[in-house]
Homo-oligomer: A and B are copies of this chain.
Amino acid sequence: TAGVTVYQEGDTYVKLGGRIQLQYHYADPDNGSSEDEVFFRRFRPYIEGSVHPDWKGKFQWDMGKASGDNEIAVKDAYMQYTGMENMKFTIGNAKFPFSRENLTSSKKQQLVERTFVGDHNYGSPDRTAGIHLTGKSGDLFTWGASFASSSIDPDEDKLDFDTPVNSNSDFNEGWVYGGRVDFHPFGPLKFSQGDFKGETKATIGLAAFQWENDNDNNTNQAGKPDVDSVTGFEISGAFRAAGFSVDAEYNMFDADTVNGAYTGGIFRNGSTDLENWALEGGYMVMPGKLELVAGYESQDADNYGKEWTRTSVGANWFVHKHDLKFQLTYRMGENVDGVNGADEDEVFLQGQFVF
Interface residues, chain A, with chain B CB atoms under 8 Å away: 2, 4-7, 12-14, 16-18, 20, 22, 35-40, 43, 45, 47, 49-52, 55-57, 59, 61, 63-64, 66-74, 77-79, 91-93, 129-130, 148-149, 164-169, 173, 214, 216, 319-320, 323-324, 351, 353-355
Dominant secondary structure at the A interface: strand
Copy total for this chain: 3
Query: CB-nearest residue of chain B relative to A73?
Result: B66
Known contacts A22-B91, A61-B63, A72-B71; decide if A216 and B52 are in contact (CB<8 Å). Answer: no
- A139–B45 CA distance with the chains assembled, in angstroms: 36
Q: How far is the CB of A85 from chain B (nearest CB, A)?
A: 19
Cβ of A216 and Cβ of B79 under 8 Å apart?
Answer: no
Q: What residues of B have a CB within 8 angstroms of the CB of A55 in the complex?
A: 319-320, 324, 353
Asked if residues A92 and B22 are in contact (CB atoms below 8 Å), the reply is yes
Contact between chains at B66 and A68 (CB < 8 Å): no
Contact B38 A59 (CB under 8 A): no
- Interface contact B59-A43, CB-CB below 8 Å: yes
Q: A56-B355, A69-B69, A79-B353 are in contact. List 19 more A-B contacts (CB 8 A).
A: A5-B7, A14-B16, A18-B49, A20-B57, A20-B79, A20-B92, A22-B78, A22-B79, A35-B216, A37-B216, A38-B130, A38-B164, A39-B164, A39-B167, A40-B165, A45-B59, A55-B320, A66-B72, A67-B168
Contacts of A130 in B (CB 8 A): 38
Chain B nearest Cβ from A140, distance in angstroms: 31
User: What residues of B have a CB within 8 angstroms of the CB of A5 in the complex?
Assistant: 7
Could you jot down 13 A-B contacts, CB within 8 Å?
A4-B49, A6-B14, A16-B49, A17-B49, A20-B79, A22-B92, A37-B149, A37-B173, A37-B216, A40-B129, A43-B59, A67-B168, A68-B168
Query: Nearest Cβ in chain B — how far from A199, in angstroms?
Result: 23
Residues on B with C-beta less than 8 A from A351 are: 79, 91-92
Which residues of B lie under 8 Å from residue A93 when comparing CB positions? 22, 40
Query: Does A66 lie within 8 Å of B166, measured CB to CB?
Result: yes
A214 touches B40 (CB 8 A): no
Residue of B6, B149, B355 near A50 (CB, 8 A) is: B355
- Asked if B7 and A4 make an inter-chain contact with CB atoms under 8 angstroms apart, the answer reads yes
Determine whether the beta carbon of A165 is less than 8 Å from that of B39: yes
A39 to B92, CA, bound (A): 9
* Residues of chain B within 8 A of A216, CB atoms compared: 35-37
Tell me, in angstroms, the Cα distance from A36 to B68 when the chains sit together.
Answer: 27
Q: Which of B18, B66, B149 interacts with A38 by CB under 8 Å?
A: B149
Q: Residues of B contacting A51 with CB < 8 Å?
A: 2, 4, 320, 323, 355
Complex Cα–Cα for A91 and B14 (A) = 28
